Structure 1
Amino acid sequence: MAIIPRERMLQDTRQSEIYNLLQLHRSCAISDLAQRFDVSDETIRRDIRQLEAEGQAYRVRGGVTLKENAVEAPYLVRRNQNAEKKQAIALKASELVEDGMTVLIDSGSTAYWLCKALSKQRNLTVITNALDVAREMAGKNGAKVFFGGGAIDSDYQSSFGRETEAFMSSFTPEIAFFSIGAVDSRRGLLDFHYPEASMKAGLAALASRVVALADSSKFERQGIVKALDFKQIDIFVTDALPPRQILDALDEVEVQIG
């Protein structure tokens, strides 16, 4: 871990940074955190106790581990988690897009990598509620971008809500790409953010083809809200062969491995 400047950080800021590190590494040693933030081991232990009290982490011998609950990291952290897997998925998914298509791309972290992978397709019409997608695609190879406005959620760097859904639902995309937060063989495709899941559910029926994007870390992960049934998607793109129970649930869906 790199050492940040020696200025003492405010406790709440330091705890937020520790939580972000846990989202990236899943666990951290107390000694490494103390060195990184230039504080004592006891100060880090107090921070960990606070994170534990808030249900975000729990103490282990000599360190701290992220609690496996239904909390997602802020978007910019999520975007870089499992980046290689997401890039592989994005490259595979980009093969489904042809010149001139009308494409809906949602606000999940894999959507950013999909836009990066759309380097050859020309004259696309892109509908999105994600700032990153709009910035990446605007004018790219002649693309036209329609951004679903409304209040922007800073953690997700995207807009949600009635105004956004009403605007985006006026389009009829040939293909829609939805990043999925969790894949449960019994309950379907899940998410951690109700407005995001609601938008997926509302827009999926408008597209001629629906593509779900999920890296293998999402398999049998616990989400908090249902976004889509398996039968509502046409193609499932991932980076590794899903376990048998998920493959059985995806029986009528085309599974593509990036």
Structure 2
Amino acid sequence: MKAAHFLMDESPKKKTLRQLDLMGFLEKSGYASVEELTTRFSVTSQTIRRDIADLAMQGRVRRHHGGVALTSPIDAQTYRQRRVERFTIKHRIARRVAELVPDGASVFLDAGSTCEAVAEALCERKELKVVTYSLRAAVILTDRTDFTIAVPGGFVKNVAGSVMGESMSEFIRRFRFDTAIIAVSGIDEDGAMGDDDQNEVSIVRTAIGQARSTLLATDSSKFYRTALVHLGNVTEVDDLVTDAKPEGALQHTLAASQVNLHIA
């Protein structure tokens, strides 16, 4: 009887620890397939599906066909952590982005850690004209004396270092861009892009409307992540620069579109 009682106590413990590990893995990857998790944790697919169902009931993950993704937006602590954890990946993406931007181009540059890396890579170009609401990106770009850099006035948003104000969209409409370089908080399985800040979405949508082409720079952890505010669909962008090909439904969405996929 004692042995049976011990086994009953152990099973919930193992399950809890596995689900904690599963959440930790998703916080880094953003999305994982059932097959990938089955292999990673050396359990059956039925076990993983039960774990996913439990976590979905708690509102911590969102189930997708054949996989699972996080549902919660990124908080400040996680934002800072990812700036460090995915440093190499973001800079690979940034270098590829810079290769796609010709010298002398007029560019809108979004805010966020990926776009800060892009700003560093763009310093290898010549005579760019850049509009950005990211103070961090603007400071980086000032290393080039042949660049023209425009930033709006307003209040500085903590963590991201972006400038916010009532007339942001009006400021952006004064310019025309060869390329709008944007980032997102998540791309859902149907290709829906989103951000967790309504103000940033409004700015980026305006910039896209003023640009001849749109380049999305994002690492693969954003795949199958649901953001709070809808920005548009990934099929609307001209180029997508990332570190790995998406799997599942999103892969099929991109394959059926005219988006140029660049793997850094």
Aligned residue number for residue 203 of structure 1: 207
Choose which of 141, 147, 150 in structure 2 pairs with 1:146.
Answer: 150
Superposed displacement of residue 166, structure 1? 1.3
Q: Counterparts of 1:123 and 1:98 in 2: how far apart (Å)?
A: 10
Say yes or no: does 1:169 pair with 2:152: no
Q: Counterparts of 2:220 and 2:140 in 1: how far apart (Å)?
A: 25
Q: Counterparts of 2:82 and 2:163 in 1: how far apart (Å)?
A: 17
Q: Counterparts of 2:175 and 2:246 in 1: how far apart (Å)?
A: 32
- Code of the residue aligned with 1:99 in structure 2: it is D
- Code of the residue aligned with 2:155 in structure 1: it is A
Percent of pairs identical after alignment? 25
Q: Give me the CA root mean square deviation.
A: 2.7
Unpaired runs of 5+ residues, structure 2, are 1-22, 29-57, 61-68
Superposed displacement of residue 114, structure 1? 0.5
Say yes or no: does 1:253 pair with 2:259: yes
Q: Counterparts of 1:173 and 1:135 in 2: how far apart (Å)?
A: 20
- TM-score, scaled to structure 1: 0.70
Q: Counterparts of 1:24 and 1:105 in 2: how far apart (Å)?
A: 30
Superposed displacement of residue 56, structure 1? 11
Q: Counterparts of 2:173 and 2:83 in 1: how far apart (Å)?
A: 26
Residue pair 2:70, 2:225 contacting (<8 A) in 1 also: no
Segments of 4+ moved more than 2 angstroms: 22-27, 67-71, 73-81
Aligned residue number for residue 231 of structure 2: 227
Unpaired runs of 5+ residues, structure 1, are 1-21, 28-54, 58-66
Aligned residue number for residue 184 of structure 1: 188
Aligned residue number for residue 112 of structure 1: 116
State how many pairs are aligned. Answer: 201
Choose which of 62, 82, 98 in structure 2 pairs with 1:94.
Answer: 98
Aligned residue number for residue 221 of structure 2: 217
- Code of the residue aligned with 1:242 in structure 2: it is P
User: C-alpha offsets along residues 54-105 of structure 1, whole Å, 9 cap, x if unaligned?
Assistant: x999xxxxxxxxx944332335444334111111111111111111111110
- TM-score, scaled to structure 2: 0.69
- Code of the residue aligned with 2:113 in structure 1: it is S
Q: Counterparts of 2:91 and 2:151 in 1: how far apart (Å)?
A: 23
Say yes or no: does 1:239 pair with 2:247: no
User: C-alpha offsets along residues 226-248 of structure 1, whole Å, 9 cap, x if unaligned?
Assistant: 11222321111100011142122
- Code of the residue aligned with 1:159 in structure 2: it is V
Residue pair 2:26, 2:70 contacting (<8 A) in 1 also: no
